[in-house]
Amino acid sequence: MKRLIFVNGPMGVGKSTVCRELQKLLAPCAYLDGDWCWDLVPFTVTEETKELVLGNAAHLLRSFLNCSVVETVLFAWVLPKREIIDELLSRIGGGAEFRLFTLTAGEQTLAARLEADVREGRREADVIARALSYIPLYAADMGGVRIGTDGLAAADVARTIADMVRPGGKK
């Protein structure tokens, strides 16, 4: 059975980096970053753009799942509410084993990672305050596995997830 794996958490927690590592471990594997479904300038949040991103993400995820050469589909995005996850799953339809992993980090770790991204020009400085404000949203039980990333390399987090989703792995 195909696997659909969502990796969520606040900005800067390491979702994209972990998924790039995980993609190698779970090949043949497709990876979709939710930000790619909503790459607008200026970035504007409206009901219309929310519908746009959900439709884009569901279409791409479903297409990857329908592709015969893909066994695992990874999706990384800031998903602070279970309702968003459930909406995406309802649009995608069944036929895959679904797993949810929430990556967490303490305020100092998250701020340090984002500050490095800002220095390297990958993010704007305002992302730090926004990301820190999202931390409490991930305290709720979303029905998946929570993984604290403080002090861990992305490759270590990816190995932990891979071990859990491979046949015979920890559930």
Q: Which of 14, 126, 37, 139 is nearest to 81 (CA)?
A: 139
Q: Which of 75, 70, 61, 60 is nearest to 27 (CA)?
A: 70
Flag whether 59 is in a domain. Answer: yes
- Cα–Cα distance list, 107 to 24, 47, 74, 78, 144 (Å): 29, 30, 26, 16, 22
Three-state SS for 120? coil
Three-state SS for 121? coil
Q: SS in 3 state form for 22-56?
A: HHHHCCCEEEEEHHHHHCCCCCCCCHHHHHHHHHH
CA distance 109 to 114: 9
Number of domains in the chain: 1
pLDDT band at 169 (very low <50, low <70, confident <90, very high): low
Q: Each residue of 61-104: pLDDT tens digit?
A: 999 999 999 999 999 999 999 999 999 999 999 899 999 999 99
Q: With 0-12 CB in 10 A as exposed, 13-18 as middle and 19+ as buried, what is 170?
A: exposed
Flag whether 171 is in a domain. Answer: no
Q: Each residue of 39-51: pLDDT tens digit?
A: 889 888 999 999 9
Flag whether 88 is in a domain. Answer: yes
Looking at residue 43, its pLDDT comes to 81
Q: Which domain holds residue 117?
A: 2-165
Flag whether 170 is in a domain. Answer: no
- List beta partners, residue 33: 76
CATH number for the domain harbouring residue 42: 3.40.50.300
pTM of the model: 0.93
Looking at residue 170, its pLDDT comes to 64
The answer to whether residue 138 scores a pLDDT higher than 70 is: yes
- List beta partners, residue 97: 3
Flag whether 119 is in a domain. Answer: yes
